[in-house]
Structure 1
Amino acid sequence: MPSVAENQIRTAKDLFEGYNEYTADAVLRSRADNCVHYILPTSLNRPSKTNEEYREFFGPLQKVMHRFEVSLNLVNEIVNDPENHCAAVHASGIGESPVAEYKNEYAFFLEFNETGDKITKIEEFVDAAFSKNFLAKVLEWQAKQN
């Protein structure tokens, strides 16, 4: 039977593999039913999202981003703390969209259930300057599409 530490590493990697598959089901499969996703820093004023809210958010995003890939930084290292059921990951994301090239950097802080096979909380720090600029371009592009 895998240890909690092994489960947490596998679950964290599955989260990012889900983003690379780029479907809502894939992105959500490693999350517990009660998982809440926070986008930080708080200065971005992004609301937290339940799984259902994240699914609703992800649908329109797929129309703007045609290809998306996340890679783990620091030689794919995940800082894992199985005793406290949490992990930290430094990652980068690239993608293609009609508005601009997407290139963002993230720090993910993940909390897990007792067995480590589901994520119960995601705190995702993004590059605030890039995110604000990219979102403005997306909103402008979407307005022209309507």
Structure 2
Amino acid sequence: MTSLAETQKRTALAFLDGYNEFTVEGLLRVRTEDCVHVSLPASMGRPDRNNEEYAMFFHQLERVLKNFKMTTLKILNDPDQHMAVAHAKGDGETPVGAYKNEYVFFFYFTEDGTKVRRVEEFVDTAFNAGLLPKLSEYMASKAAEAQR
């Protein structure tokens, strides 16, 4: 019989591997139907997203992020609290340069550990502050070109 700790760790790894699949289905596979995805730090001003909202956000991301690879660096797991923390990095390519982000995910699991009911994701704010304005400018120029 698999222990709760092993199940939670497998679920956390499956969550992160969903980014390597880079599909909405892969990203939502181990989330509960009412899962909430919180983007941190709050100073970035990103809203909390349910699965439908996260899927819409991801569709925007997949237009500009290619060859994405999520690498799990470490996972700390607490089965008594039905939580785990993962440190990961993501690498990919965008039309405006290399994508190299770093993450810390807090996972809150269901009682049996097979689903994530809440995820809190910290991102590298310095990296995002440099990349996001360039990506926004690129996307605006593409939209303007499409209107011509």
Name the TM-score class by shorter chain.
over 0.9
Of the three residues 91, 96, 102, the one matched with 2:93 is: 96
Q: Which residue of 1 aligns with 2:56?
A: 56
Q: Which residue of 2 aligns with 1:128?
A: 125
Deviation at residue 131 of structure 1 after TM alignment: 1.0
Amino acid aligned to 1:61: L
How many residue pairs are counted as aligned between the two chains?
143
CA distance in 1: counterparts of 2:133 and 2:25, whole angstroms: 27
CA distance in 1: counterparts of 2:82 and 2:109, whole angstroms: 5
Deviation at residue 9 of structure 1 after TM alignment: 0.5
Q: Which residue of 1 aligns with 2:78?
A: 81
CA distance in 2: counterparts of 1:19 and 1:102, whole angstroms: 14
CA distance in 2: counterparts of 1:29 and 1:131, whole angstroms: 26
Deviation at residue 99 of structure 1 after TM alignment: 1.2
In the superposition, the TM-score normalised over structure 2's length comes to: 0.94
CA distance in 1: counterparts of 2:39 and 2:96, whole angstroms: 22
In the superposition, the TM-score normalised over structure 1's length comes to: 0.95
Amino acid aligned to 2:63: K
**Which of the pair has more CA radius of gyration?**
2
Partner SS, residue 18 of structure 1: helix
Deviation at residue 45 of structure 1 after TM alignment: 0.5
CA distance in 1: counterparts of 2:120 and 2:128, whole angstroms: 16
Q: Which runs of 5+ in 2 are unaligned?
A: 144-148
Counting only pairs closer than 5 Å after superposition, residues 2-81 of structure 1 correspond to structure 2 as 2-73=2-73, 77-81=74-78
Partner SS, residue 49 of structure 1: coil
Moved over 4 A (4+): none
Q: Is 1:107 the counterpart of 2:104 in the alignment?
A: yes
CA distance in 2: counterparts of 1:30 and 1:136, whole angstroms: 32
Q: Which runs of 5+ in 1 are unaligned?
A: none
CA distance in 1: counterparts of 2:11 and 2:35, whole angstroms: 13
CA RMSD of aligned residues (A): 0.8
Superposed CA deviations along residues 109-137 of structure 1, whole A, max 9, x for unmatched, are 11000000000111111111111221111
**Worse-matched range after superposition: 123-132 or 111-120:** 123-132
CA distance in 1: counterparts of 2:66 and 2:104, whole angstroms: 23
Percent identity reads 48
